[in-house]
């Protein structure tokens, strides 16, 4: 059994659990840029003690590598914090950003966005 068997993906416009990655499609080498992560931007996700997003993570998988690089982890609390975060990152080369979010009721979700580095 592999963890990947339990990771769900979805079109963020139609699903309130998959994280939305908002970032430029093209950035300059080693120049800082902003990445916004959110869950439920278009369709609000519940934020109660009984049903909430517990955490979000951001990774990059460079095109020329088989490994993920962990860029950040956001721990959230129900009711008082919203599933939104802004990270400032730098990339050395082109790759794919991968975001994961964990809902305490519906498990692990992921989405991705290709970033070209010039």
Catalytic residue list: 15-17, 45, 51, 103, 106
Of 12, 31, 10, nearest to 20 by C-alpha is: 12
Of 80, 37, 76, nearest to 54 by C-alpha is: 76
DSSP state of 5: G
């Amino acid at each position: 059994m592999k963890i990947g068997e339990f990771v769900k993906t979805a079109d963020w416009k139609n699903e309130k659990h998959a994280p939305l990655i908002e970032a430029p499609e093209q950035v300059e080498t080693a120049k800082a840029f902003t990445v916004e992560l959110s869950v439920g931007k278009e369709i609000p996700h519940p934020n109660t003690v009984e049903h909430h997003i517990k955490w979000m993570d951001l990774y990059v998988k460079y095109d020329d590598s088989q490994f993920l690089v962990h860029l950040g982890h956001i721990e959230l609390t129900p009711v008082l914090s919203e599933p939104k975060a802004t990270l400032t990152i730098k990339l050395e080369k082109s790759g794919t950003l991968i975001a994961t979010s964990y809902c305490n009721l519906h498990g692990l979700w992921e989405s991705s966005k290709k970033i070209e580095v010039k």
